[in-house]
Amino acid sequence: MDTLSIRSLVCNAAAVFSESYGAATRRAEEAGCSRQTVYEHARRVERRLQPPAPEPESAATAAPAVAATFDEATRRRFAATACAMGISLRQVEDLLRVVLGDDGPDHSTIGRWVKEESARAAAVLEALDAGCVERISTLALDEIFFGGGRPWWGSSP
């Protein structure tokens, strides 16, 4: 089998793609090969010019299979815990969408869950506060109660 140059391959393909009557036959005679070879060269050139097929979604980018076991109770617990840690509703929404994909709840649903869970926790916290008040020996009031600034004169700027 003779090795053809890229130029010959492209010329053979051009003859086929020109769709001019008899062009493939004339090109085969000029190149000293069969028409079948000219058509094969056209297919090879066409394959090489095609963009690569997109890769199937890998396991690293797909939503993990854990999503199936991430039921609503677990989602509620995750949302309430994250908000208690200071993560905003929108950030919780983004985190849940990383794990659950498009099946993740929106921020309004998350907000409703957090509100319901905080109402449930209020009674427990009230009982804990009442039980702990006798044990408190030092109370530290800070930015939480004074809006972020330090109102007393001995504080540093």
What pLDDT score was predicted for residue 30? Answer: 87
Per-residue pLDDT of the chain (157 residues; tens, 9 = 90+): 456 678 888 888 888 888 888 888 998 898 888 889 889 988 888 888 888 878 776 655 555 555 457 888 999 999 999 998 889 999 999 999 888 888 889 889 999 999 999 898 888 888 888 888 787 777 666 555 655 555 555 555 5
pTM of the model: 0.45
What pLDDT score was predicted for residue 123? Answer: 83
What pLDDT score was predicted for residue 3? Answer: 67
What pLDDT score was predicted for residue 1? Answer: 47
Give the residue extent of every domain in the chain: 6-49, 65-126
What pLDDT score was predicted for residue 19? Answer: 81
Do 68 and 43 meet the contact criterion of CB atoms below 8 Å apart? no
Name every residue whose Cβ is closer than 8 Å to that of residue 110 and which is 6 or more positions away in sequence.
79, 83, 89, 92, 93, 96
* CA angle centred on 69, ends 106 and 58, rounded to 5°: 80
Sign of CA dihedral 116, 122, 125, 127: negative
- H/E run at residue 6: helix 6-17
